[in-house]
Homo-oligomer: A and B are copies of this chain.
């Protein structure tokens, strides 16, 4: 027997290109059918047409749902919907789970409630819960009614948690065993399953009230003597989570302790669900993506092919905010128009001072935000950080300020302008360092996400203060 190897990245791009080729052929034929409406050819063309679509459909049926999701995300809307119609109903649910929120919206928009329910019925309760927020309210109710008692309870439980709580990403596929049996009994019990849930690396040992007593790792089960009792070999030193724990912190724990799965318990220590590493990887990826998107002021992930109007709305809040801060900085300059009128050189030099201030401030705040997220900053060490960042700002101010000062001196043949540049740089970098530390730390203390908003506040300050310091010093000493 020969092993069929999948080379993930190659096949990913290749699949996409194959689908695009088939789509292209399909559209060519469709174009012909529309253009030359000759009855004689019709039959042939419909056949070719159908053949193309069948080929495409077969191709799609062979692919992993995650790969189909990738193709859908990379296709413009019309092509995406053509492909979506060809997807078999029984894999629609899995694909909906895999696509990005923005693309999921476009797919759901084409489905009526019966189709949505048919797709959702192939999913587990926890997976339906992930979709539920994007579904119309009536559909969720209809779905609830179509589920069995146990699944309905699980769905309700999953829906009762916030999006960033562990309960919203846990699943219910725990294999539980009792502690007072032998491993031989456990092995025989497992053989009665058709299949074990994905990511089963441990069995959950519970008593008759579902209270968690320990974990039996499959590794332990396999290497131990079958005559052993479960409670002799089970692990009792267990990393557990509550349904209300933060998903980001749970993901950090998975990372730190190299977990594959972990039990979720309630306040009475009853086992209510299970976290698995694949969901945690998604959490880590989503967190890092939203961090990068937030830094650029994008509210959410954008469908690459959404309309101009929709994309613009995604980007406007940030632009509006920046317009306000830019306007503020502009008014600071406006206040010194008299000074600029006398020494025009100032107008050319002032953006350097504000720009470099923004850069150094961003460096400081990026490091602080990161350390806050990792829990590395305690009240005892905060003051040391301020001293350190202040020191770096002083060093930078003196070094780069001098460089700039000398250049400005040579350029404008005036020593006073050189000295002004140096002093303004040194002062503005101090401001940038302080704001770069204080803004994220204050946000963190107030329980806000320090990453969001820090950068606007930071550049607003370094811009306005940069202009104010530079033009203010000029007004005081140069006029």
What sequence of 0s and 1s flags, for each residue 1-30 of chain A, a beta carbon within 8 Å of any chain B beta carbon? 111111111001100110010000000000
Other-chain residue from B1, B201, B298, B344 in contact with A213 (beta carbon distance below 8 A): B1
Name which residue of chain B comes closest to A260, CB basis.
Answer: B260
Partner of A352, one of B200, B302, B330: B330
A76-B381 contact in complex given A281-B255, A323-B356, A344-B341, C-beta closer than 8 Å: yes
Q: A249-B9, A363-B298 are contacts. A312–B395 as well, Cβ < 8 Å?
A: yes
Q: Within the assembled complex, what's the spacing in Å between the Cα atoms of A66 and B253?
A: 10
- A479 CA / B166 CA spacing, docked (Å): 64
Could you give, for residues 230-271 of chain A, a 1 whenever the CB lies within 8 Å of some chain B CB and a 0 otherwise?
Answer: 010000111111100110011011111110100001000100
Total contacting residues, chain A, CB less than 8 A: 145
Interface SS of A by simple majority: helix
Name which of A140-148, A154-162, A332-340 contacts chain B. A332-340
* Complex contact B236–A8 (CB within 8 A): no
A381 engages B199 (CB within 8 Å): no
Partner of A277, one of B198, B219, B260, B377: B260
Nearest chain B CB to A304's CB is how many angstroms away?
A: 5
Contact across chains for A291 and B288 when beta carbons are under 8 A apart: yes
Query: A351: shortest Cβ distance to chain B, in Å?
Result: 6
- Which residue from B73, B193, B280, B396 sits with its C-beta under 8 Å from A315? B396
Contact B330 A351 (CB under 8 A): yes
- State whether B236 touches A4 (Cβ < 8 A): yes
With both chains docked as a complex, state the minimum distance between the C-beta of A67 and any C-beta of chain B, in angstroms: 7
Q: Which of A231, A250, A312 has the most CB of B within 10 A?
A: A312
Cβ-based interface call for A388 (8 A):
yes
Q: How far is the CA of A411 from the CA of B375 in the complex (A)?
A: 47
Compute how far the CA of A455 lies from the CA of B18 in the bound complex, rounded to whole angstroms.
34
1/0 per position for A389-424, CB-CB distance to B under 8 A? 001100110001001100100010000000000000
Query: B residues within 8 A CB of A375?
Result: 9, 12-13, 16, 70, 74
Closest 5 CB pairs of A and B: A288-B288, A8-B253, A296-B366, A333-B348, A347-B347
Known contacts A73-B376, A315-B363; can you find 14 more A-B pairs with CB under 8 A? A1-B179, A3-B212, A20-B380, A64-B257, A76-B384, A191-B225, A255-B282, A260-B277, A296-B365, A305-B384, A319-B400, A322-B355, A334-B411, A355-B463
Give me 17 A-to-B residue pairs in the complex whose CB atoms sit less than 8 angstroms apart, sorted by A's number.
A1-B179, A6-B237, A9-B375, A66-B257, A67-B256, A291-B292, A296-B365, A298-B363, A298-B367, A304-B376, A312-B392, A315-B360, A322-B355, A322-B359, A326-B351, A327-B352, A341-B341
**Chain A residues close to B by CB (< 8 Å):** 1-9, 12-13, 16-17, 20, 64, 66-67, 70, 73-76, 98, 179, 187, 190-191, 193-196, 198-201, 212-214, 218-219, 222-225, 231, 236-242, 245-246, 249-250, 252-258, 260, 265, 269, 277-278, 280-282, 284-285, 287-289, 291-293, 295-298, 302, 304-305, 308-309, 311-312, 315-316, 318-319, 322-323, 326-327, 329-331, 333-334, 337, 340-341, 344-345, 347-349, 351-352, 354-356, 359-360, 362-363, 365-367, 370-371, 374-378, 380-381, 384-385, 388, 391-392, 395-396, 400, 403-404, 407, 411, 463
